[in-house]
Structure 1
Amino acid sequence: MYISPITLKQAQKFVLDYHRHNKPPRGHKFSIGLKNENGELIGVACAGRPVARHFDNGLTLEVNRTCTDGSRNANSMLYGAVWRAAKAMGYERCITYTQADESGASLRASGFVKVRDIPARPGWSASSVALKDMRDPVGNGGVDRVLWEIKIKGANHD
């Protein structure tokens, strides 16, 4: 397996075809592909500005989406490649989220650490006093999540 640059359009198509619970991201700062020995795309990662505006300080990057065909260690390779690229661009911190029922093994293998558990929210389109059952069938509304980060030693972005 090897890392390869890809376009947002390529990443979006891959996510649309393979991701089990998220839609393709609408934009990015950059995307990274992972290809097998035959040159076939087997995974993608999309990185962009943090969705939560209080994290958007110009030095924090968010991995908005990763997606693989299930190839062993593919997700870890993508997270590692995003972090190396982010550091080379001057970012000091990289964050991402998982659903609470996901193990985070790929993130831990890439050096990310769990920051905190985040309770479910009803979704962007719901009012702040939303009904418990409101959930977008594709997305993270109504799902407990976990915030993960990796940062340069000594960087403080809390």
Structure 2
Amino acid sequence: MVLACEAPERAAAICSWCGEIAVLELAEAWSDHAFQFKTCCPAAHEDVCAGMAEDPAWARDLLRHLGAEVLLGHGLRRVADTGCGQLLLDWKLEVRPVSFARAADFVRRHHTHNAAPTAWRYGAAIVNGSTLLGVVMIGNPVARGLMGRGTLEVNRLCIRRDVPRTLAWNACSQLYGWAAREAEVRGFERIVTYTRADEEGGSLRAAGWNRDAQVRGRSWSSPTRPRTDRAPLIDKHRWSRALKPRHPVPQPAVLPAIMPLTLDAAA
């Protein structure tokens, strides 16, 4: 998709490079975040591009002035530098609803070492403009000791790796933060997740999570219940975030102990 936009009317100025009337317009913008200027001469084009690379804040304000946000319908977060001499339109990230089927398919295609969960309680996607960056899937805790205690678990969080990393900046933190807030709204008191021991967890810390345990890697299979391990058997860190629900999830009633009926008791 190719779009075009001209700059708002302004007093004519003379280009210091070519001596003609200065021209600076947002000529084209594509859905892959690339864009192109129209200038009066090649030297002016190089000058503008160099200024944008040196001053991202000025670059963002310039593109807003040229109508990029109105043209494409997204809020501009910044102008991102890929490090290879290319500048991209980096839109404000948005968390959006996603179906279980689409989220599971995304995990199957993009997660590096884990399969998609077979069920969930809820989840969401995160987008940069029209680009789907990742998904988060939240369900019941896998560990038996955490079940039924007002706790949820982020079972999968997956960010695709086939887009420039600069466009996915802060995406993990936003998804972890959203998952915790949504769990709180639903009445849960705690949310947990696990990362590999060789991962730092900076996104979790930025979202207000704390590392509270180290879990030794082991197989889920046992002689009494043989199972196929679907994930690498490595040590992991458990992270959690305490929540303050307005309406706690009701706990199941504890049934009173009943003495077994015997023939002697019946007599």
Same fold at TM > 0.5: yes
Q: After the TM superposition, which residues 67-82 of structure 1 pair with which residues of structure 2 at under 5 Å, given as runs?
A: 67-70=158-161, 71-82=168-179
2:259 is aligned to none
Q: Distance in 1 between matches of 2:106 and 2:197?
A: 24
Is 1:21 aligned with 2:117?
A: no
SS at match of 1:6: coil
Contact conserved, 2:194 with 2:236, CA < 8 A, in 1? yes
Structure 1 unmatched runs, 5+: 129-134, 154-158
Task: Select the structure that is richer in helix.
Answer: 2
TM-score (norm 2): 0.51
Q: Distance in 1 between matches of 2:121 and 2:210?
A: 23
- Over the aligned positions, Cα root-mean-square deviation in angstroms equals 1.7
Contact conserved, 2:194 with 2:238, CA < 8 A, in 1? yes
Is 1:87 aligned with 2:184?
A: yes
Deviations 1:98-129, CA, capped at 9 Å, x for gaps: 010011111111111001111110x223549x
**Paired letter, 2:104:** Q
Structure 2 unmatched runs, 5+: 1-92, 162-167, 245-267
Is 1:36 aligned with 2:128?
A: yes
- Higher alpha-carbon Rg: 2
Q: Distance in 2 between matches of 1:98 and 1:127?
A: 27
Contact conserved, 2:106 with 2:135, CA < 8 A, in 1? yes
TM-score (norm 1): 0.84
Of 105-114 and 50-59, deviating more is 50-59
Shift in Å, 1:57: 2.0
Deviations 1:53-87, CA, capped at 9 Å, x for gaps: 21112510100000012511111110001011100
1:103 to 177, 182, 200: 200
Select the structure with the greater relative contact order (CA < 8 A; seq sep ≥ 6): 1
1:51 is aligned to 142
Q: Detail structure 1 runs of 4+ shifted over 6 Å in the superposition.
A: none
